Amino acid sequence: DAGVTQSPTHLIKTRGQQVTLRCSPKSGHDTVSWYQQALGQGPQFIFQYYEEEERQRGNFPDRFSGHQFPNYSSELNVNALLLGDSALYLCASNLVWQGTYEQYFGPGTRLTVT
């Protein structure tokens, strides 16, 4: 049973650049959520995708955007990178009709902005 996978594992970018992170949900799941975790803090909700649409969004600027594909995989795009965007980006998936809404997390992508 394939769990949540994310790529790449690590990424180094320069201020002002753009980055794309990728996530494949756990087998059978249809909903993908993205979280940002700064060092020493708990994860913060960025947004959630279901049926290829953004369903909920946290308090993040429009520089953060996403996409969900027909196979339920997802991308997180961040434009005009700032030093403060350096963080661990976590992807989580769940199955809407499961009832528990239990979210399963991937290993994360460590983004460093220099």
Partner 1 sequence: KQEVTQIPAALSVPEGENLVLNCSFTDSAIYNLQWFRQDPGKGLTSLLLIQSSQREQTSGRLNASLDKSSGRSTLYIAASQPGDSATYLCAVSVVKAAGNKLTFGGGTRVLVKP
| Footprint of partner 1 (CB under 8 A) | 4, 6, 31, 33, 35, 40-45, 48, 50, 55-56, 58, 88, 90, 92, 94, 96, 100-108, 110
Q: Strands 10-13 and 109-113: what pairing?
A: parallel
Smallest distance from partner 1 to CB 90, Å: 6
Smallest distance from partner 1 to CB 16, Å: 26
Closest CB to partner 1 among residues 18, 68: 68
Closest CB to partner 1 among residues 15, 55: 55
Q: How far is CA 49 from CA 11, 12, 15, 16, 55, in A?
A: 23, 26, 27, 26, 6
Smallest distance from partner 1 to CB 59, Å: 10
Contacts of 28 (CB under 8 A, 6+ apart): 95
Closest CB to partner 1 among residues 80, 96: 96
Smallest distance from partner 1 to CB 65, Å: 17
Contacts of 67 (CB under 8 A, 6+ apart): 49, 52, 74, 75, 77
Instruction: Give dist(CA 2, CA 45) in Å, integer.
Output: 24
Closest CB to partner 1 among residues 23, 113: 23
